[in-house]
Amino acid sequence: MNSTLPKEKQPSQFLKKMRYWFKRLLQLMQLKEDTDYEATIDNITKSVTFQGMNLWILFFAIIVASVGLNVNSTAVIIGAMLISPLMGPINGLGLAIGIFDEELMRKSLTNLVIMVVISLLASTLYFFISPLGDAQSELLARTNPTIYDVFIGFFGGSAGIVALSRKNQPMAVISGVAIATALMPPLCTAGYGLATFQFRYFFGALYLFFINSFFIALATFLFVRYLGFPQTKYVDKKRETTVKRIITIFTVIVIIPSIIAAINMIRETAFQSQSKKFVTEIQDTPYFENRQVFNVEREFSRTEPSITMSIVGAPLSSTDITELQQSMRTDYGLKNSKLIIKQTGETIDITKQNEIIENMLDKKDQVIQLQDSIIQSLRTKMSSIEQSQTLSDQIAKELYVQHPTLVTFAIDDLSYFNTQTGLHETIPTVYFKWKDGAAHPQTEEAIIKWLKVRLDVSEMRVIH
């Protein structure tokens, strides 16, 4: 009995300790006690308005971010985020909905529109005059929203409102930078789309900005309600009811398409992930023993996503394709997806297949050899220029020691054209300038003879 008693008590003591630490953790995570309601509302309300200094800072920050996207520099983009005042109207919108403040909501929406217009004007102007017109990877990454952008917006917004509502605001700057990460680049990319008339970039980037802004505002709204911010009181109760009704309808109208968009992004992300896995794994099956996949296209749609595979080798039978499609739908969760196999109508033996692959590799090798040849030619020219520059510097020093009255000396290969015969020849030509301004024929003749020997040339001319 005594020997079993401690073993029975041990689980009980362990559970007591776990409950204690769990309660302690919940106490540490309490937010309401440290919430400064008045200061938070005042700070967010003040940051909503875009005028004067804020407009100029936003304009400059957008230009800096556009440069970073244009030259594909992450460091420059982060630098722009440090100075961007983008969060004011979005936080204001979430707060206004949370406390039913009609005036703050109207002001937030107005300044949000101003913010977007200024950002688009600045980024469009920059990309319109920029000599670099190619879309770099940093730009392309902001044209197609994914579920990860939703996470960034929501959790960044959560961090922002939690930090802003603290009495001491210990993390306000850090959270502001994390939030701005999701907002500035899409606006700059939208400007790039306008400047280059690539409207799919424009609409894709604006869509990404809308998604991020919505989930930042949603996070602000949820925490405002959770923390128990005091709601705005109206003298006229009838007006108060009307305002709450209008704000509620507005919120529902915005929330419904945003949730639908988020669900579509989740589905698209899952489709892209599973389709890549499917295409990779089926190539190791007996179906592709004598076949080679040389192109894959994945197209997502809400009704019927599709995977298109182009193959060379022995054609797959209709039964094989049906079995692959069944495996895609059951084993990889791509239930409504369609598998399209593009293949030649005739059987290609392994020798022909190898010839096709070898031809592709030969063309690639030819391109690489051509690039290597161009690089080597440029290196040779650079080396020749550097050697010529070094020799010219040495000759100039020697001439200065021998002839101190020589002010300027230049030498280069010039092409001389004969207008009568149409022929031309390249001859080293020298230019002299002396202190007294007059030519020194005898001295120059001696220098020319010395230069011919020094440079190992048979002919040389002089220009005064």
Residue 43: per-residue pLDDT: 83
pLDDT at 346 (0 to 100) = 47
For the segment 146-173, what is each residue's pLDDT rounded down to a tens digit?
Answer: 677 777 778 877 887 887 777 766 555 4
Question: CA torsion, points 86, 91, 92, 93, in degrees to nearest 10?
Answer: 110
The answer to whether residues 116 and 187 touch, using CB atoms and an 8 Å cutoff, is: yes
Cβ partners under 8 Å of residue 2, min gap 6: none
Count the Cβ atoms, other than its own, within 10 Å of residue 40.
21
Going from N- to C-terminal start, the domains of the chain cover 27-232, 273-342, 403-463
Question: Using CA atoms, how far apart are residues 347 and 343, in angstroms rounded to an integer?
Answer: 10
Task: List the chain residues with pLDDT less than 70.
Answer: 1-12, 17, 20, 22-32, 82-83, 132-146, 168-182, 235-236, 344-361, 363, 384-391, 437-439, 464
Whole-angstrom distance between the N-terminal and C-terminal Cα of the chain? 120
Task: Identify whether the C-beta of residue 192 lies closer than 8 Å to the C-beta of residue 68.
Answer: no
pLDDT at residue number 121: 92
pTM beyond 0.95: the answer is no
Spatial distance between the Cα atoms of 40 and 167, rounded to a whole number of angstroms = 9
> Rounded to the nearest 5°, which phi and psi values hold at 116?
-65, -45
As assigned by CATH, the class of the 27-232 domain is: mainly alpha
φ and ψ at 345, to 5 degrees?
A: -80, -15
**CB-based contact 307:328 (threshold 8 Å):** yes
Compute CA distances 369 → 363, 374, 385, 458, whole Å: 10, 9, 24, 38
Query: How far is the C-alpha of 191 from the C-alpha of 127, rounded, in Å?
Result: 7
* Other beta carbons less than 10 A from residue 36's beta carbon: 15
Residue corresponding to tokens 């968009």: 261
pLDDT of residue 237: 72
- Between 2.40.30.170, 3.40.50.11440, 3.30.300.20, 3.40.50.1820, what CATH number should domain 273-342 receive? 3.30.300.20
